[in-house]
Structure 1
């Protein structure tokens, strides 16, 4: 079965080449690679166009990672979708293992892996903290799942878009399954959205939590 890789990117020129390299290194190659540039002001677009992965690159005004992810998915046609942030790295067997995993789980499941964190600039990436990776760079799902759950929505502050989407997926009856192997590396960059912890970015997580509570209450009232 074919799969498409969707990559939202914002000012990712310093990392996206290595990210695309990791896609090309997969033992099971994708049928499509789509990068949506979310209003970058650096040379992200030029880096993607020059890369041998021959990814399709589309630009949009700076709207948010969720909107860029949704746009990228809607530009693909493969029956399976794999997400990847523009600063993370896949290990070579990731997609082969996850495609097999998804096939065994059936249509109402979503596949994830474990990740290992490393700091940007680290030469040794074998010793970072390992975590269950319920994140964009780990997710593999059927297109029909996305179509039912709906778009990835950017909360206030830009944080928590995937937390919100996964909450909606659970509420729609989909189950989340994590492979026990580390199959991706998550890059930590000082000053990035995932690194920041200011009040404005926290608004997104508060909004996501509030929406989850409301969904739970509505379900209990049925």
Structure 2
């Protein structure tokens, strides 16, 4: 049976949270849906959890190849015109699917809908709004050109299938979570508007095994994402201001790992591309300096 909305839940060793994630989608007041759980080679009780829901979901298992590959496998196996994502340790709030699907129904030019989220602890209790920590886009009606500085939270995102047909799937060179989602949104921004809902639609769980807590891995993933964004075959057809922002971001992520002269080349290329974006580049430098100072201060405290 073909569904209108396909919900993709990738899972790697998140069996302790998976049942809650699945149930939160089953309980949605939107019947025209299918749920696809992609087990990315888990070694915990993920399979046992999935068996509890065997009549209500599609279950796919693959060797451990990373979240990008897991999401792509789910998309390829899905039937929906709209693809929603939910990480296995997060939960969808009531009404999420209906709210986001209605936006895509109403605005055919919109390719992606995202929203705010609650930060929740391991027990599922709200801590804060995610926007209070990581910010929110300014243009809620279409934030596509803010995707350099604002990365939509993947578990809040619903994407029109056509987006993946046009710009491609998640880049499978990413073997862990972090950066692969940002790159996908940047590429989708090339051709589609993006709508932001200024309300939480999921609970984003903070716990001890979050991939995003591995800062070294996250920095590596971000460097890869910025490189792939500026090397993409369609990069030259972005608006000048957007290309400049991407190049400033490439400069920031390259500074500590590439020859300084090459990193400065990205900075100068950005300036020449659109001089009006220099304040954006300077903000990135300031943010990088502050992050470096904070890391040094922490080292001093530990010494």
Query: TM-score when scaled to structure 2?
Result: 0.66
d(CA) in 2 for partners of 1:106, 1:75: 24
Q: In the alignment, is the contact (CA less than 8 A) between 1:5 and 1:30 conserved in 2?
A: no
Cα 1:214–1:204 shift into 2, 3 Å:
same
1:135 Cα deviation after fit: 2.3
Structure 2 unaligned runs (5+)?
Answer: 137-150, 244-303
Aligned pair partner of 1:194 in 212, 221, 224:
212
d(CA) in 1 for partners of 2:209, 2:15: 15
Which one is further off, 39-48 or 155-164? 155-164
d(CA) in 2 for partners of 1:156, 1:34: 21
1:168 Cα deviation after fit: 1.1
d(CA) in 2 for partners of 1:118, 1:197: 20
d(CA) in 2 for partners of 1:210, 1:175: 23
Structure having the higher helix fraction is: 2
Aligned pair partner of 1:213 in 213, 230, 238:
230
d(CA) in 1 for partners of 2:203, 2:55: 19
Pairs aligned (count): 217
Q: In the alignment, is the contact (CA less than 8 A) between 1:39 and 1:62 conserved in 2?
A: yes
d(CA) in 2 for partners of 1:16, 1:97: 23
Instruction: Determine the structure 1 residue equivalent to 2:185.
Output: 166
Instruction: Determine the structure 2 residue equivalent to 1:77.
Output: 79
CA RMSD of aligned residues (A): 2.1
Cα 1:53–1:163 shift into 2, 3 Å:
farther
Structure having the higher strand fraction is: 1
d(CA) in 1 for partners of 2:230, 2:202: 31
Deviations 1:121-175 (A, max 9, x none): 35x32x423324712211112211122121111445622110111111112x112
Cα 1:52–1:58 shift into 2, 3 Å:
closer
Cα 1:118–1:6 shift into 2, 3 Å:
same
Q: In the alignment, is the contact (CA less than 8 A) between 1:21 and 1:53 conserved in 2?
A: no
Aligned pair partner of 1:181 in 199, 210, 227:
199
Instruction: Determine the structure 2 residue equivalent to 1:149.
Output: 167
Instruction: Determine the structure 1 residue equivalent to 2:271.
Output: none
What are the residue-to-residue correspondences of 1:36-185 with 2, within 5 Å?
Answer: 36-51=38-53, 54-121=56-123, 124-125=125-126, 127-131=127-131, 132=136, 134-156=152-174, 158=176, 159-171=178-190, 173-185=191-203
